[in-house]
Structures are given as C-alpha cells and as structure tokens.
Structure 1
Amino acid sequence: TKASGTPIAIESVFLENGTLTVLNIVWNTTGFAKGNYTITATADAVQGEIDVADNAFTDGWIVVSMVGDVTGPDGWPDGKVNMRDIGAIARCFGTQAGDPEYNANYDIVYDGKINMRDIGLAARHFGETDP
C-alpha cells in the first residue's frame, strides 16, 4: 500500500482459489508532511492468474492535517482550528460509519462515530494554527 507513491504498509496473505480477503490498513502519518495523499493498493499476480485488472485499487484523497482542522473556506483544511471546524463536525453529530451523512474526516477520534468526543477533541485544539 502506498500514499502518493511512498510505501506505507506491506501485508501478506494466502488466498485459496475463489476466495476474498479484506485488509484494513492503519497509516501512521507521523513524519509525513501535511497535505493531500492518494492511496494505492496492489496485489501481485499469482501463478495461473489470468484476470489481473482488479489487482490494483486507488482511492481518492487522504488529507493529513493538524488535529481538529477538518475544513476551511474552500472545503480543505486551512491550517487553523476554528468554529468552521467545530461546526462541520457538529453537522455530522450522531452519525456513524455506514450512515450516508457520516464523514470519516470529521471522526477525529477514529472510533467509527461522530459524537462529543470528536467535538471535544477539536475544541481542545481551538485557536491553534499550523506552523
């Protein structure tokens, strides 16, 4: 698995013919510059595999920003934690992973639900600006 070309995880699994395995990757962003990253995962072809079109997956953007900075005037984190961020999280309050209104970028506690823990964490960083 890579973030904009930089390896972030390597997982090995053994698959029986005709089976499926889901891998969840947790990316420790320590040491990565703040910004937008494209996540790509690939699987090596196995002996006898004919259809390799589904051996790669690329998914949108992952945004690395300071804690609580989830949005700005243009919709992207703007380097400061303010009421715009608190309001964005609050608008998704009570949602959880799988709900249409759930936004994983606002789940800053990373527990699959947006609640007071997320708002509280953003509030603790209120007024901070990215150096």
Structure 2
Amino acid sequence: MCKNEECVDDVLVIYCAKHPTYNFTTVVGWYNHADIYRHYQNVEFNGGYVQSYNAIAKAKDCVLLPIGERSRKIKWQVPRKANGWKFGFGRANVWYASEDNEDLKEYMKKLLYQIENYDGENCIK
C-alpha cells in the first residue's frame, strides 16, 4: 500500500492459520478482488453490534475451505521460516510474500493456480 492511499482495490487476500491438529500452517480461505483499508472500518448492525474490518469483498469472490480440504498439507501448506523454509511467515502472522527468492516464485505460482482453479466446496455459500 502506498503511503498516501487509504484503500487499495482488486487485491487477493489469502487467509492462513495453524492447523488445529497437525503442526503446519494452512490456507483456510481467500478474498479475491478485495478492497484493503489502511485503517479499520466499522459497520454497525441492527441491535448496535459493531464489526471492524480492514478487508472486504463480495461473497461470490470469497472462499472458506472446508476443514477436510485444509488438512491436505501438500496442497495448502503455507511456509514458515521456523520450519526450515527460506521464505514464509516469520514471527508475525502477516506475510506479504515479497522476498526475492526463486523458490517463493514457484510456490506462489502453484498456490495461485490452485486458488484460481479451485472448484470444491465453499463453506461461505
């Protein structure tokens, strides 16, 4: 995000989490064509409930992988430097995948292909 921009549009946001049973980080879902905000935005629902967000996309552009699909380590594993990868998440749980690394380029190419061609179950819909 540029220093002066409050919002960037048409971004692919990939959500990851530690697998609840196995010791690896996995893709859990993604927003395609998302708007990303520099500062949290708030939306108020009936009854006064307020939800904050910094990424938003249309439901048709969002995928939440079923637990069984996320458990496919070879397909959805996300690298962590602590696990011996030369790229990936460090100590923070935010990673911009911007390292200059040929292995990273191959990993991202494979991951983007999987996302673009995913036609399995979507727990959002």
Asked which structure has the greater CA Rg, the reply is 1
Q: Which structure shows the bigger proportion of residues in strand conformation?
A: 2
Q: TM-score, normalised to structure 1's length?
A: 0.22
More RCO (CA 8 Å, sep 6+): 2
Q: Which structure shows the bigger proportion of residues in helix conformation?
A: 2
